[in-house]
Homo-oligomer: A and B are copies of this chain.
Amino acid sequence: MVEVRTRDVFAAMRPELDRVESRVEAVSEVDFPVVSSLVLDLVRSGGKRLRPLLLLLAGRAYHYDLDRLVTAAAGVELLHTASLVHDDTIDRSGLRRGKPTLNAVLPAGAVILLGDYLFAQSARLAAATENPRVVAIFASTLADICDGQLREMFFAHRLDQSRDEYEKRIYGKTAALFAGSAEMGALLGGAPEPHVQALRSYGADLGMAFQIVDDVLDLREGTQRLGKPAGNDLRQGTVTLPTMLYAARLSDVDGAAARLRSVVAGEDDGDNGGEMLGQVVAEIRASGVLEEATMAAIAFADQAKRHAEIVPDLETRDMLIDVAEMAWARRA
């Protein structure tokens, strides 16, 4: 039921999303043929275009100028792509969504520059909206994303972190751009200020829900669905909500606690077969924390739905609510 309805949202918005797609591809061209095709592949292999969808939905509820909405939507998608490119360089990931990353085929320096180039192109699109507030949101969202990624790095391999720290981190990493996308759409649609703020909150809560579900999926599903092995976060020392909930349940005398500490500390890397990692992942799955974390995601999605109620256009409101339900009902 939920699957059908969310598919409907994408189908309903297909013409606008296709325009975003063309815009993204047009600005991703680089003057170096080899690189150009790699960047285009990368951009085309992108995900569901959720951020552009949010921006378009938030705008269509009001008096939107479609061309500006499409421009801004292409901008947020490219900003997202650029940050993934740098993220993969930082993690030295060879795969994303089951496909080789740029890092698998280009030297690290070239990948850093291509990421910068995509940032530049996304900033050009933001500038092309000629809306100073949109540009300001765009820039501060980039700062928030960096903050989230820096937090992930500096809090890696640490079990002694609060839920508040986790939420700050995933806000920066994911929710900030969801929030910014919805806010930009509402602004470009000329929504009244309380609506702009409500849609921003909608995006933020939706983003939190999405990231928590991602963190659950990382532990629940393996290579086949995610294009990366299960427990990838743990392998990199990234402590997510399920792991935090699990750690809180373990007693210090338990062997499981020692195993978890060892895996988080990076003492059991993939090179040694990652046997202990596999065991810890199994123990986490069996403990019931994945369900508990999913409940936290549902709570965020419910908050998002309540924020969407301000939208006067009924069709758009329903679509926003459907997207919020998709947040936790989806699989990888």
Contact = CB atoms under 8 A, between A and B. Distances in A.
Interface of A: 30-32, 35, 83, 86, 89-91, 107-110, 112-117, 119-121, 123-124, 126-128, 130-132, 135-136, 138-140, 142-143, 145-147, 149-150, 153-154
Given A112-B89, A153-B113, A130 B132 contact: yes
A149 B119 contact: no
A117 B31 contact: no
Contacts of A35: 150, 154
Given A117-B150, A127-B132, 19 more contacts: A35-B154, A86-B112, A86-B116, A90-B109, A90-B112, A90-B113, A110-B150, A110-B153, A113-B150, A113-B153, A120-B140, A120-B146, A121-B143, A123-B123, A124-B139, A124-B140, A127-B136, A127-B138, A128-B136
26 contacts: A31-B147, A32-B154, A86-B116, A90-B108, A90-B112, A91-B109, A109-B153, A110-B153, A112-B112, A112-B115, A113-B153, A116-B145, A116-B149, A117-B147, A119-B119, A120-B139, A120-B146, A121-B143, A123-B135, A123-B139, A126-B139, A127-B132, A127-B135, A127-B136, A127-B138, A132-B132
Most chain B CB neighbours (cut-off 10 Å) among A35, A113, A126, A153: A113
Contacts of A128: 136
A262 B205 CA distance: 58
A142 B90 CA distance: 21
What secondary structure prevails in chain A residues at the interface with B?
helix
A128 B136 CA distance: 7
B143 A124 contact: yes
B108 A123 contact: no
B123 A142 contact: yes
Nearest to A110: B153
A142 B127 contact: no
Contacts of A113: 86, 90, 146, 149-150, 153
Nearest to A130: B132
Closest 4 CB pairs of A and B: A90-B109, A123-B139, A120-B143, A120-B142
A40 to B, nearest CB: 15
